Chains A and B, each alone.
Chain A
Amino acid sequence: DAKTTQPPSMDCAEGRAANLPCNHSTISGNEYVYWYRQIHSQGPQYIIHGLKNNETNEMASLIITEDRKSSTLILPHSTLRDTAVYYCIVRPRDVGDKIIFGKGTRLHILP
Chain B
Amino acid sequence: DADVTQTPRNRITKTGKRIMLECSQTKGHDRMYWYRQDPGLGLRLIYYSFDVKDINKGEISDGYSVSRQAQAKFSLSLESAIPNQTALYFCATSEPGQGKAYGYTFGSGTRLTVV
Tell me the A residues contacting B by CB distance below 8 Å: 2, 32, 34, 36, 41-46, 49, 51, 87, 91, 93-95, 97-104
Contact = CB atoms under 8 A, between A and B. Distances in A.
Nearest to B41: A103
Contacts of B98: 32, 49, 51, 91, 93
B103 A91 contact: yes
Q: For chain B, which range describes its interface: under 10, 10 to 19, 20 to 34, or 35 or more residues?
A: 20 to 34
B53 interface: no
Interface of B: 4, 31, 35, 40-45, 48, 50, 56, 58-59, 88, 90, 92, 94, 96, 98-100, 103-109, 111
Nearest to B103: A46
Contacts of A104: 42
Contacts of B103: 34, 46, 49, 91
A98 B42 contact: no
Contacts of A51: 98
Given A43-B108, A46-B103, A99 B90 contact: no
Contacts of B105: 46
A46 B100 contact: yes
Contact of B56 (A2, A41, A98): A98
A95 B105 CA distance: 17
Given A43-B108, A49-B103, A91-B103, A102 B42 contact: yes
Contact of A97 (B35, B96, B107): B96
B106 A99 contact: no
B42 A46 contact: no
A51 B97 CA distance: 13
B58 A99 contact: no
Nearest to B94: A97
